Structures are given as C-alpha cells and as structure tokens.
Amino acid sequence: MAHGLTEEALGNDLPDGLDSGSLKRLGFAAGAGQVQMLPSGDRLVAAVGLGPAGDVTTDVVRNAAADLARAVRKQKTLATDLAAASGIDAADATQAVVEGISLALYRFGYRSKTGSGGDRDTLAKVTLVGSTAVGIRVAVEMAVAVAGGVTLARDLTNEPGGSLTAAAFANRVRRMARDAGITVKVLDEAAIKRAGMGGLLGVSRGSSNPPRFVELTYTPKGVAAARRTGTIALVGKGITFDSGGLSIKPANGMMDMKKDMAGAAAVVGTMSVLPALAPKCRVRAYMPMTDNMLGGDATRPGDVLTIRNGKTIEVLNTDAEGRLVLADALAIASEGRPDAIVDLATLTGACMVALGPSIAGLMGRNDRFLSQVEAASEKTGERVWRLPLPSDYRKMLDSTVADMKNIGGHYGGALTAGLVLAEFVGDGIPWAHVDIAGPSSSDADEGEWTKGATGFGVRLLVELVSSFEKVEAE
C-alpha cells in the first residue's frame, strides 16, 4: 500500500503501517517526490511525499505517482490513495496519478531476454483507493487513453531511423487510423510532386527512401456542424532521420537525429486518442515525412525551392530542413481555412539555447489563441514559453534570388525559423508554432518522462483540442 502524505500530515495520525518516528529517522520529510518503503508484515508500505499542502498541484501529484511507480516497479501489485490524499480536485488528481504511473513505467528497446536487458518489471496491477464516482472512472479512462497516445508517440520517436523510414512511418499511421476509426490519406512521391510540395521534395532528394505526406481527419460523431467548436489543424515535422544533408552534422550532433520526427509522432499520438475522448471540434492533421540524407542528387546550398503556395526559398543550409517541409504542410493546412493551426517541430537548437531542455518555445499570431495553448500547457504540465516574432527580423531572411533564405544568420535562430514558417500560414488564421527541440527527449528518468523520447506535446494537444474555442482574427 502506498500512502500520499503532505508535510503537514506527517505529524498527524498516519495510516496503518506508517510510523512518524521511523519515517523521520529514515530522513523522510514528505517532500514532493520522496518515496520511503517500510516493511509491514508480509507486505511493503510506502510513504509518498507531496510537499506542503498549499503547493500541491496536478503536476506535483503526477510526478509523485511517477516516482512511486519507479520505486515499486519490481512488485507485483500496488494499491495507493495518492489521488485521494492530494487534497485537490479528485478527478484531476486521479488522472494525474494514472498518467504518472503509466508513463513512468514505459520502456523501449531491443534487448534480448538473456542479455543485459533481462531484468523485467513485474508490476501488473494498480488499485486506486478512494472514490468510485462516475467522474473518477471517466478520469481513469481518459488518463489511460492519453497515456496510450503518449506511448505511441514515444514508440515512434524511439524507433531507429533505419527502420522507421517515411514509408514505414506512414504505414504505422495508416494502421493506427484504421484501428481508431479516423480518416487517413497517404500521398506517395508521385502525388507529392503533383501537389507541388517543393520543400518536401527538396529535402528528400538525397535519400533512397521516397517521401510520404499523411493527412488525418477526426470528425466528431453525432455533433451537428452548427454545434461543432470549429476546426483545428495540427502539423507535425516528420524528418525520420536528419544527417544535415550536404551541410552535414558532426557525429555527436547526429546521434539522436532519429528523433527529428517527434513533432509528427506527437500529432499521431494525439489523433489516436481523439475518438475515445470525443472532443466537439473537427481536427485535421498534416505530416510531411522524409529523411534528410546526402545522396548524389541531394539539394545543394544555393538551390531554390518552390513551396506549395508558390513562394520560393533559397536553401543556404540544408540542415535547416524542417522549415522547408513544414512550409508545404502549413500551406496545405491553410488551404482548408481551419479556425486555427498548431505546428509541433524539433526545429532549432537555438530554442534549446534559450529555454533549456525542458521547455518548448511558443511563437505565432493571435494572442487569444496563443493564450489557449498556454492554458493547456499550464494544465498538463508540458511547459511552453512565449517568444516573439519581431517583424523587423524578417529582413534577416532577405535573399537576392528568391523570396527568402532558409536561414537568418547567427543570432535569434528560433525566431527567424518561426518567421519562415509564418510566410506559409494563411492570412488571418490563428497560428501557434511550438518548438519542441528540447523537451522532445530526455537524458534521464524524471517525473513522468523516461530516458529517450518523452512524447511531449500529446497531452498538450489533447487538452487544447478538448477545450478549443474559436477566436476572432486579429
């Protein structure tokens, strides 16, 4: 049994199996994330710290549940009152507990049973002690669905680039869509050429694996068009491996580049759970997929690409490829005149320099829509920080031979990348660009994150879609 304890509760009557004196002697002070195991007969009892009662939030509860899961992952069963003991809204706390436990136990790998990876987790059953009200059961179901979407995003992102080619990625998405009951359309290379996606074709030229462009559509069932809360478009960067192209990356910079499709993976994970959660808005998703390689006909620095909307880009650095494929996707998304567009991309190292490894950069236009993204971030704990898109920086992209260059110079790289994307979003459409270069992966287990791909963005997008409200153009 695992009991959640605030700092204030530590000095009061404790549940059976816990002794205040013993806990204090062991150094347990109920600090947020502390887990202390104690023997009690033929079972173990765990005290789980939540910190000061006034500071308990869903983030605190989610992280505490994750720490608990790691501490007991070799046990067979777990019962916990963590949600009930948190003192916050019961449904929110329950969802946080289920998400924290589920996501902390995630593992991915190709280890053999007889090799170093033979040590397996044994936790097979988790019981939540507390209310059985309908709202609590709904919260559990929602958490399980969302955790499944995050797991899918992590699985896709962790998959090696040599096996998750664009075609393989598209086939995985097609199977997911069939199972979930959402509409899917996959464009092969010939269809991409007919559609005039010069950015995607330019990036894929150096690869022996042909590109794909995938569109998904979720339409709420039983919701008349007049009662829908609008249409939101999700765009995800799907570079399945990024060598940098002819502007090749150094060896160290290439090690994690199988994860350069984390934006598309987050969009896929989000779309996979929408039928279960049944939001009232229509959701369309657009994902350009290719790897960025150095084949004999790879795009050269100085080449000019024509994007779907007719604008031209001079490519001066082939490693700034994400904005090229996203340009096509944003242009196509805009043609459908959605009520808002969100794109997720592991776009720039500059964003990591500015915000570190755990916070995504948020840029775009329409303050009220960007505020909705920030509100979703606040609720889910997937942190974003708003950055500007200064109009006077646009001149940094001026080209002598094309409408723009694909890079803007040594400084403000995250902002100039955002300014490139802005050129391909339809006039008046509220738009948010989320640069997830930092939080898309983690170097260590921390909270609900596990080492490797984090699935960042799935919970944020699910919350945004679920609470989306149309806004007036600015």
**Are 223 and 280 within 8 A, CB to CB?**
yes
Name the active-site residue from 73, 193, 249, 386: 249
Q: How far apart are CA 62 and CA 45, in angstroms?
A: 20
User: Is residue 323 flagged as an active site residue?
Assistant: yes
Helix (H), strand (E) counts: the chain: 15, 19
Name the active-site residue from 284, 323, 379, 405: 323
- Kindly give the residue spans of alpha helices, DSSP state H, lying in 159-197: 166-180, 189-194
Tokens of 303: 């080449």
Q: How far apart are CA 128 and CA 38, in angstroms?
A: 20
**Are 8 and 53 within 8 A, CB to CB?**
yes
């995607």: which residue's tokens? Answer: 200
Beta-strand pair 212-218/125-128: unpaired
H/E stretch holding 353: helix 349-355
Give which of 461, 433, 418, 430 is closest to 365, Cα–Cα: 430
Contacts 24+ apart (CB under 8 A), 92-96: 92/58, 92/139, 93/58, 93/61, 94/128, 94/130, 94/136, 94/139, 94/140, 94/143, 95/58, 95/139, 95/140, 95/142, 95/143, 95/146, 96/58, 96/59, 96/61, 96/62, 96/65, 96/143
| Residues 328, 331, 332, 336, Cα dihedral to 10° | 170
Active site residues: 249, 323
